[in-house]
Amino acid sequence: MQFQPILDEIAATIRPHLGLEGRVADYIPALARVPAQQFGIALRTFDGQEAAAGDFATPFSIQSISKVFALTIGMRLMGDGLWERIGREPSGDPFNSLVQLEHEHGVPRNPFINAGAIAVTDRLVSHCEGKAEMLAQLSSIANETIHYNPEVAASEAATGFRNIALANFMKSFGKIDNDVATVLDVYFHHCAIEMNCLQLARATGFLCRDGAHPYLPERQVVTERQARRINALMLTCGTYDAAGEFAYDIGLPCKSGVGGGIVAVVPDQLTLCVWSPALDTTGNSLLGKKALELFVARTGLSVF
Ligand code: DON
């Protein structure tokens, strides 16, 4: 399939809608300043073909997309031991909700809501140097050096009252081993990584390659079984309380972030990243979701 004309067509269809609907995340002050009228899309196929359109080269804050990479490192370091304190069920609640944690004794529903990612980060802090390991992994799989934005990390730390509450609440149940401030510092830095659409399409490539490294095919980032499971979790939990709608409308494993990015996986075929900063009420990119709907309608690609 020739993807470049398809992505050009999607970018042209989306462009007139930029800035009309949705809202840029404003609960993190450094993100509130990002202009809403931007849209990028990029993909990389199993065999290394690339296509991209719009603002695909503009770096943005990957935010919760980092939760896929934190989970990947956690699964590699701990295998099934990672699941002792983290569930694998959709939450049906907003990504920063506290309510389930009380009923469920401090065990987060899944690794893609904030509480779950903070719990994964705690495990990483116990097993590795969490900040350095993340940049090393991302730089390897994206095939270029990846950085944090320190201003975004500081902005999150200054205003992350809900995350601070979530971490302390889990700590009160004995589910966080390390110092809360240390765990949150690593978590905020992970969220504050900056990448563009093409870098993310490349870096997630192991998820459409049965876990094989996108640039070093003889090396596994995770096992084939682990890659399948990360994809399953993305499909069921990657877009929070909109995961059902995403499965229905798009039918691909997806992971979103409040920076406006969404990555999507077509197993054995390609990885795709869309970005547009204005969000819908569930915290997912409004036009990013629209672009993914156009992509699957135009290509017929789906896991179903
Ligand atoms: O912790 C937070 O709230 C943000 N750093 C990340 C949230 C996020 O991206 C959820 N996504 N839709």
Q: What is the 3-state secondary structure (H, E, C) of the chain?
A: CCHHHHHHHHHHHHHHHCCCCCEECCCCHHHHCCCCCCCEEEEEECCCCEEEEECCCCCEECHHHHHHHHHHHHHHHHHHHHHHCCCCCCCCCCCCCCHHHHHCCCCCCCCCCHHHHHHHHHHHHHHCCHHHHHHHHHHHHHCCCCEECHHHHHHHHHHCHHHHHHHHHHHHCCCCCCCHHHHHHHHHHHHCEEECHHHHHHHHHHHHCCCECCCCCCCECCCHHHHHHHHHHHHHHCCHHHHHHHHHHCCCCEEECCCCEEEEEECCCEEEEEECCEECCCCCEHHHHHHHHHHHHHHCCCCC
Measured torsion, CA atoms of residues 27, 30, 36, 39, in degrees rounded to the nearest 10: -110
Q: Which atom of ligand 1 is least distant from the CA of 163? A: 1
Could you give the CA distance from residue 201 to residue 137 in angstroms, rounded to a whole number?
A: 15
**pLDDT the model gives residue 123:** 97
Q: Which amino acid makes up residue 139?
A: S
Ligand 1 centre distance from Cα of residue 64 (Å): 5
**pLDDT the model gives residue 68:** 98
**pLDDT the model gives residue 193:** 98
Residues of the chain with confidence (pLDDT) below 50: none
**pLDDT the model gives residue 208:** 98
Is the separation of the CB atoms in 173 and 243 below 8 Å? no
With a Cβ cut-off of 6 Å, ligand 1 is lined by 63-64, 95-96, 114, 156, 163, 191, 256-258, 283
From 64, 68, 118, 188, the mutation candidate for ligand 1 (largest count of ligand atoms within 8 A of CB) is 64
Catalytic residue (choose from 186, 187, 265, 290): 187
Those residues whose C-beta lies under 8 Å from the C-beta of residue 164, and which sit 6 or more positions away, are: 180, 184
Could you give the CA distance from residue 111 to residue 33 in angstroms, rounded to a whole number?
A: 28
Active site residue 97: no
Q: Which atom of ligand 1 is least distant from the CA of 256? A: 12
Active site residue 64: yes
**pLDDT the model gives residue 95:** 82
Token pair belonging to 276: 């547009």
Active site residue 187: yes
Active site residue 265: no
Active site residue 240: yes
Q: Which atom of ligand 1 is least distant from the CA of 117? A: 1
**pLDDT the model gives residue 240:** 86
**pLDDT the model gives residue 97:** 85
From 95, 183, 254, the mutation candidate for ligand 1 (largest count of ligand atoms within 8 A of CB) is 95
Residue 254 has φ and ψ, to the nearest 5°, of -135, 150
Residue nearest to atom 11 of ligand 1 (CA): 257
Is the separation of the CB atoms in 116 and 182 below 8 Å? no
Ligand 1 centre distance from Cα of residue 27 (Å): 10
Beta bridge partners of 272: 43, 264
